[in-house]
Amino acid sequence: MEKPGRQEIAKMIDHSLLHPTMTDRELTEGIALARKYNVASVCIKPYAVKMAAEMLAGSDVLVCSVIGFPHGNSRVDVKVYETEKAIGDGAEEIDMVVNIGKVLSEDWEYVSAEIGAVAGVTKNRGAVLKVIFENDFLPADHYKIRLCEICNRHGVDFVKTSTGYGFVKQPDGTYGYRGATHHDLVLMRKHADPEVQVKAAGGVRTLEDTLKVRELGVTRIGATATEAILLAMSGKAREEEPEGS
């Protein structure tokens, strides 16, 4: 694969501003950073979509909102309403978390209806839809494969590995997550239709990580380490250690 340029890498990045403790100042600083580096989008909490849209007006950076985030437990009609409101506030991309309990129950009719309902809104409004599987919560490949097949059927734009907040209790009682693994990215790229793109989120923190997932066919990443990744493209030292995924 040909070595990408800095702008090509920048346009792979959805700059993530989703941590629940982020203040208004942190959000505005994050939006400004995304605009400075001309990334693909700012992925921001629903209440801040309008602010992000105003700050990014006139730029090539899109506004992305999350729906049913991070656990996917909202009713279908609530997810539809959230999607409509987010687009109305200026979101051009939507990252929706599936109902994970319904996936694990293998209630595929429900899961398909939910994805189809949100996809109906995004298609009607001209927005991009990314469907988040939260792979850390899915213990077997067949769940992920079936989700890819449902997303293919509804013509979603992206399938996405994780929220970055899907923490699983470990044997020692602590919580952790793997995020976007090599195995899952290969699996999702294999079972998603060619026109359905793959977004990696959770654990992609360095330029090396970004290049590795790009080689697997990933076209978007969710990242908080945006500046560090892009400074590495220029060979500059990291200004500070980023937090998060």
DSSP conformation letters of 131-190:
EE--GGG--SHHHHHHHHHHHHHHT-SEEE---S---EE-TTS-EE---S-HHHHHHHHH
148-179 pLDDT, tens per residue? 999 999 999 999 999 999 988 888 888 888 89
* Residue in 48, 41, 46, 43 with CA at minimum distance from that of residue 25: 48
Instruction: Considering only CA atoms, give the Rg of the chain.
Output: 17
Q: List pLDDT tens digits, range 3-49.
A: 899 999 999 999 999 999 999 999 999 999 999 999 999 999 999 99
Query: Residue 243 domain-assigned?
Result: no
Angle made by CA atoms 87, 122, 60, in degrees to the nearest 5: 60
The reply to whether 123 falls in a domain is yes
Specify if 196 maps to a domain: yes
Q: What's the longest Cα–Cα distance across the chain?
A: 50
Res 238 pLDDT > 50: no
Confidence of residue 244 (pLDDT cuts 50, 70, 90): very low
pLDDT computed for residue 170 by the predictor: 83
- What are the DSSP calls for 5-24, one per residue? PHHHHHTTEEEEE--TT--H
Q: What is the pLDDT of residue 176?
A: 82
Looking at the domain assignment, is residue 176 inside a domain?
A: yes
Q: Is residue 245 part of a domain?
A: no
What rounded mean pLDDT belongs to the chain? 94
- How do residues 41-90 score in pLDDT, each as one tens digit? 999 999 999 999 999 999 999 999 999 999 999 999 999 999 999 999 99
Task: Give 215: exposed, middle or buried? Use CB within 10 Å, 0-12, 13-18, 19+.
Answer: exposed
**pLDDT tens sequence across 95-109:** 999 999 999 999 999
Q: Active-site residue among 79, 130, 144, 199?
A: 199
Q: What is the pLDDT of residue 241?
A: 40
Residue of 89, 95, 136, 184 marked active site: 95
Is residue 160 part of the annotated active site? The answer reads: yes
Residue 33 belongs to some domain of the structure: yes
The answer as to whether 77 is a domain residue is: yes
Active site residue 85: no
C-alpha atoms less than 13 angstroms from C-alpha of 210 in its C-beta half-sphere: 29
Whether 223 has a pLDDT exceeding 90, the answer reads yes
| Residues above pLDDT 90, as percent of the chain | 87
Is 190 a catalytic site residue?
no
Range of the domain at 74: 6-233
Establish if 200 belongs to a structural domain.
Answer: yes
Total domain count, the chain? 1
Residues 6+ apart with CB under 8 A from 75: none
Tell me the torsion sign for CA atoms 1, 205, 158, 149: positive
User: Residue 11: which CATH number?
Assistant: 3.20.20.70
Which of 14, 160, 184, 209 is catalytic? The answer is: 160
Which one-letter amino acid corresponds to residue 224? T
For the residues 102-117, what does the mean pLDDT come to?
A: 98
